[in-house]
Structure 1
Amino acid sequence: MKYIINIFKIENKIKVLSLIGLSAIIFSCTEPIDLTVPTESPRLVIEASLDWEKGTLGNNQTIKLSLSTPYYDTAPNPVSGASVIVENTTNGDVFIFNDQQDGSYTTTNFVPIINNTYNLEVIYNNETYTAQETLISVSEINRIEQSREGGSDEEELDLTIYFDDPANEVNFYYITFLEGEDLLPTREIMSDEFTNGNEMSLLYEEDEADAEDEILPGDEVDINIFGVSEQYYNFLNRLIEQGDNAGDPFATVPTRLRGNYINPENPENYAFGYFRVTESVNEVYTFE
Structure 2
Amino acid sequence: MRRYIYLLLLLLLACIDPYEVDVEEGPQLLTVEGFLTTEEGPHVIKLSRSATYGSAFEGLVRPVREATVIIRDNLGNVTFLAEDLDNRGSYFTPEGYRAVVGRSYTLQIQLNEGQVYTSLPERIESVPEIKSLDYQIVRIPVEGETNERSGVQLIADLDDPADQDNFYFWRTGTSTFILKTRPDLFTERPSDLEPNRDPDPKDCCDTCFQTETFGNTGIFIANDDSFNGLNTKLPVGFIEDDGIRFVETHRAEISQISVSAEAYRFLRLVKQQTEVSGSVFDPPPANIRGNMISLDNPEEVVLGYFMAGAEAKQEIYINAVDMDFRQPVTIIPDDCRVLPNTTREVPPNWNPN
After TM superposition, the score normalised by the length of structure 1 is 0.70
Ranges in structure 1 where 5+ consecutive residues have no aligned partner? 1-35
What whole-Å deviation, never above 9, does each CA across 1:119-142 have from its counterpart, x for those lacking one? Answer: 111111221111121122211110
CA distance in 2, matches of 1:182, 1:120: 25
1:201 aligns with 2:226: no
1:243 matched to 2:274? The reply is yes
Select the structure that is richer in helix. Answer: 1
Q: What secondary structure, in the 3-state scheme, does the structure 2 residue paired with 1:287 have?
A: strand
Aligned to 2:50: 68
Equivalent in 230, 237, 257 of residue 226 of structure 1: 257
Which of 119, 124, 129 pairs up with 1:140? 129
1:79 offset after TM fit, Å?
Answer: 1.4
Aligned equivalents of 2:82, 2:261: Cα separation in 1? 30
Identity fraction in percent: 27
How far is 1:171 from its partner? 0.5
* 1:45 aligns to 2:34 (yes or no): no
8 Å CA contact 1:157–1:216 kept in 2: the answer is no
Residue 265 of structure 2 aligns to which amino acid in structure 1? N
Partner of 1:27: none
Aligned residue pair count: 239
Structure 2 Cα separation of the partners of residues 47 and 183 of structure 1: 16
1:52–1:270 CA distance, 2 compared to 1 (3 A): same
- Give the RMSD, CA atoms, in angstroms: 3.4
Cα distance, 1:159 vs structure 2: 4.6
SS in structure 1 at match of 2:294: coil
- CA distance in 2 between counterparts of 1:135 and 1:206 reads 26
Question: Are 2:166 and 1:171 equivalent residues in the alignment?
Answer: yes
2:162 maps to 1:130: no
Q: Secondary structure at the match of 2:62?
A: coil
Contact conserved, 1:206 with 1:215, CA < 8 A, in 2? no
Could you tell me the TM-score, scaled by structure 2's length? 0.58
For 1:38 and 1:282, the matched residues in 2 are separated by 48
1:275 paired residue among 306, 314, 332? 306
- Can you list the C-alpha shifts for 1:240-277, whole angstroms capped at 9, x where unaligned? 111122258xxxx9553000001133012232110111
Counterpart residue identity of residue 289, structure 2: R
Give the superposition deviation at 1:286: 1.9
Counterpart residue type for residue 216 of structure 2: P
Q: Tell me: CA distance 1:126–1:244, structure 2 relative to 1, closer, same or farther (3 Å).
A: same
Tell me which amino acid in the other structure corresponds to 2:62.
Answer: N
Name the CA shift for 1:182/1:51 in 2 (closer, same or farther; >3 Å).
closer
Unmatched segments (≥5 aa) in structure 2:
1-21, 141-149, 178-211, 320-353
Flag the 1:169–1:103 CA change in 2: closer, same or farther, 3 A.
same
Asked if the contact 2:38/2:98 (under 8 Å) is kept, the reply is: no
1:286 counterpart letter in structure 2: Y
Give CA-to-partner distance per residue, 1:175-217, whole Å, 9 cap, x none. Answer: 134677684423211110121111231136869xx89779776
2:216 counterpart residue number: 185
Question: Any idea what the Cα deviations from partners look like across 1:91-133, whole Å, max 9, x if unmatched?
Answer: 1111111233411222316342102111111111221111121
Q: Where in structure 2 are the equivalents of 1:8-87 lying within 5 Å?
A: 40-53=26-39, 58-69=40-51, 73=58, 75-87=60-72
**Equivalence for 2:16:** none
Distance 1:240 1:182 in 2: 21
> 1:224–1:231: structure 2 CA closer, same or farther, 3 Å change rule?
same
Match of 2:156 in 1: 161
Quick one: distance in 2 between partners of 1:255 and 1:75?
A: 15
- Give me the whole-angstrom Cα distance separating, in 1, the residues matched to 2:82 and 2:238: 40
C-alpha change, 1:217 and 1:156, in structure 2 (3 Å) is farther
